[in-house]
Amino acid sequence: MPENVLLKITEAVGFPSIFTLRKTCHNYRNFIDDKTPNSNLTGIFIRVHPKRMYFYYEISGERLRQQIVYNKHSDGCVVNHNAHEMFLRNEDFISVFFRDFELTIKHQKSALEQFHFHSGGMANEEEFQQYISSIFAKTMNILKSRSRPLKVKEFKIYDCEQEHVMSILPFLDANLLTNISMGFDYVDFVVDETIMKLNEVMSLPQWKNATNLDMSYLYVTESFQAFFGFTKVVICKQSVTGNDLLSVKEKFLSPNNQTEEFSIFYLTFVDGQILGDSITDHCGDQHWYYRSKNNGKILKISKIIWTKTLTVSFIESSDVPENALVLA
């Protein structure tokens, strides 16, 4: 059969049928490996567990997210894909997962809308730390082996340290990546008040080129100025002052401002009176309004009590309450 026909057939069946075809015969395997037909995935979602690996994927044109689970077994590995189960004797579940993951990444040519990595929510256990470090090392080697950076629009990583982020983020296409999200599971975040340094991550072109940043459930120690390059920002700070918000306000009102919304989750907020008079709702929420030169829009700073959130954004002048004092 001519190669062009084989390539059309292979790309038409899509992922994961490509890997099934690869196992049919030696020649077909070589053909697929040489021609690397596109997997055409739009989303890859990985979740790590000490006894299993979860691989979720989305395919262009299909609504439902598919799932493959690689389970540890006393005599090998059990792979579950939808309703199908395969037992692989004397095979390590991690090795089988990464063998398939490497093939997937090798054959992924089009851009992924989403690439999410969840390391399992056990980051405080020493044994699991060693385990997860090896997972990230293998992931980095696979991404690093590509001739071109992996095209991803949205990257999310949960339950991680800076070194884990550095195992993946530098190998994503900096010219395409728009959304970066980092954080921890809510319970772990509340109990441990997790803090992560970002000095290495912030030096990456991927960080500098992205437009949206979400650091929910992860406290940062960097100054507010470090996050001014994004269009939309969500961060967590253990302590926020009125002067901190004044620096954000000045950025929003500056001629070169590109930020549209800046949200901060906080533990303590002090010296709010520095912002001037505010409207206080019956629930204790506070709102400050300032005039701007942004097409007649009003700059609004809100403090929401029950979520402990501070948000800075522009609103239309018609959305300002009648009893509000708009400050200069």
The whole-angstrom separation of Cα 39 and Cα 23 is 16
Tokens at residue 216, please?
């929910």
Q: What is the pLDDT of residue 10?
A: 52
Distance CA 112, CA 15 (A): 14
| Residue for token pair 């309004």 | 289
Q: Which residue do the tokens 């009590």 mark?
A: 305
Mean pLDDT computed over 185-190: 60
The answer to whether 18 and 37 have CB atoms below 8 angstroms apart is yes
Q: Render pLDDT for 282-305 as a digit per residue (tens, 0 to 9).
A: 778 999 999 998 888 999 999 999
pLDDT tens by residue, 37-96: 566 799 999 999 889 999 999 987 777 888 999 999 999 999 998 778 999 999 999 999
Tokens (6 digits) for 279: 């409207």
DSSP strands (E only) in 195-319: 212-219, 232-241, 261-270, 279-280, 286-291, 298-304, 309-315
- Is the CB of residue 261 less than 8 Å from the CB of residue 301? no
Q: Do the Cβ atoms of 70 and 53 come closer than 8 Å?
A: yes
Mean pLDDT rounded to a whole number for the chain:
86
Residue 137 has pLDDT above 70, yes or no: yes
